[in-house]
Chain A
Amino acid sequence: MRTRNYSLPAALGGLLLVFWISPDLQVIAAGVAVFLFGMRMLEDGFKLAGSGMLERWLETATRSKARALLFGVASTTLLQSSSLVSVITISFLSAGLISLAGGVGIVFGANIGTTTGAWLVAGLGLKVDIGAYAMPMLALSIVLVFQKSKPLHGIGLALGGLGFLFLGIQFMKDGFDAFQGQIDLTRFALPGLLGLVVYTLIGAVATVIMQSSHATLVLILTALASGQLTYDNALALAIGSNIGTTITAIIASLGANVQGKRLALAHLVFNVVTAVVALILIVPLRGAVDWIGDALTIAPDDFALKLAVFHTLFNLLGLGLMLPVLDRLVAALVRVLPEKLPDVSKPHFLNEAVDEFPQTFETALRREVQHLTDNALDLILQGLNLPSAAVFQSCDLAGTVRAHRAQLPLDYDDAYARRIKSLHEAILAFCSRIGDRHLAPDIAERVYELRDVAGEVVQAVKAVKHLRKNVLRYTTLSLGLTTQLYDGLRTEVARIASEIHALSRTDSEERSALWLDQERVQIEKDAHATAQRIDGLIRDSVLTPGSATSFLNDSTYAYAAMRQLTNAARRCYIERDRAMAEVEKILTLEDEELHDPAAPDATGPRDGHDDSDHGDVTREA
Chain B
Amino acid sequence: MGLKKLAARLAEYRERQEAGRVREIRPEHVERIIAKLTSKEASLGEEIAETRDAEKRTRLEQKREIALEQIARAEWLMAQVNKPAS
Contacts and interface: CB of A to CB of B under 8 A. Distances in A.
B83 interface: no
A180 interface: no
A512 B25 contact: no
Contacts of B74: 583, 587
A602 interface: yes
Contacts of B10: 586
A601 B5 CA distance: 7
Given A578-B23, A585-B9, A521 B33 contact: no
Given A512-B40, A579-B25, A597-B69, A586 B62 contact: no
Contact of B62 (A398, A525, A582, A587): A525
A522 B13 contact: no
B22 A442 contact: yes
B48 interface: no
A518 B36 contact: no
A346 to B, nearest CB: 33
Given A515-B40, A522-B62, A600-B2, A586 B22 contact: no
Contacts of A579: 22-26, 29
Interface in B17-42: 21-26, 29-30, 32-33, 36-37, 39-40
Contact of A514 (B4, B26, B37): B37
B79 interface: no
A599 B3 CA distance: 10
A217 B39 CA distance: 57
A598 B1 contact: yes
A610 interface: no
A511 B36 contact: yes
Give the interface centre of A396, A585, A587 by most chain B CB atoms within 10 Å: A587
A579 B32 CA distance: 11
Given A577-B29, A579-B23, A579-B29, A586 B13 contact: yes
Contacts of A55: none
Contacts of A590: 5
Q: Chain A interface secondary structure, helix, strand, loop or mixed?
A: helix
A514 B30 CA distance: 13
B65 A580 contact: no
Given A512-B33, A518-B66, A599 B2 contact: yes
A514 B63 CA distance: 12
Contact of B53 (A396, A521, A583): A396
Q: Which of A396, A515, A517, A597 has the most CB of B within 10 A?
A: A515
A586 B33 CA distance: 12
A591 to B, nearest CB: 11
A525 B66 CA distance: 13
Contacts of B1: 598, 600
Contact of A510 (B13, B39, B65): B39
Interface in B52-66: 53, 55-56, 59, 62-63, 65-66
A585 B37 CA distance: 14
Q: Which of A579, A590, A602 has the most CB of B within 10 A?
A: A579
B49 to A, nearest CB: 15
Contact of B22 (A510, A582, A600): A582
Interface in A378-419: 396, 398
A587 B40 CA distance: 15
B29 A583 contact: yes
B32 to A, nearest CB: 6
Contacts of B36: 510-512, 514-515
Contacts of A396: 53, 56
Contacts of B6: 586-587
B70 A578 contact: no
Contacts of B30: 583
Contacts of B24: 579
A598 B65 CA distance: 9
A518 B13 contact: no
Contacts of B3: 600-601
Nearest to A440: B21
A598 B4 CA distance: 12
Contacts of B65: 598
Given A510-B39, A512-B36, A518-B66, A602 B2 contact: yes
Contacts of A575: 33
Nearest to A586: B9
Given A577-B29, A593-B2, A521 B62 contact: yes
Contact of A517 (B5, B33, B66): B66
Contacts of B69: 597-598
Contacts of B33: 512, 514, 575, 580, 583-584, 587
A331 B1 CA distance: 52
Given A510-B36, A512-B37, A585-B9, A601 B2 contact: yes
B37 A597 contact: no
A518 B26 CA distance: 25
Contacts of B22: 442, 578-579, 582
Nearest to B66: A518
A476 B5 CA distance: 46
Contacts of B26: 579
A398 B65 CA distance: 23
A503 to B, nearest CB: 10
Interface in A587-612: 587, 590, 593, 597-602
A363 to B, nearest CB: 17
The 5 closest A-B pairs by CB, nearest first: A512-B36, A579-B23, A518-B63, A518-B66, A601-B2
Interface of B: 1-6, 9-10, 13, 21-26, 29-30, 32-33, 36-37, 39-40, 53, 55-56, 59, 62-63, 65-67, 69-70, 73-74, 77
17 contacts: A441-B21, A442-B22, A512-B36, A517-B66, A517-B70, A518-B63, A518-B66, A521-B63, A579-B23, A586-B6, A586-B13, A587-B33, A587-B74, A593-B5, A597-B69, A599-B2, A601-B4
Given A514-B33, A515-B36, A521-B66, 7 more contacts: A441-B21, A579-B24, A579-B29, A586-B13, A587-B33, A587-B73, A602-B2
Interface of A: 396, 398, 441-442, 510-512, 514-515, 517-518, 521-522, 525, 575, 577-580, 582-587, 590, 593, 597-602
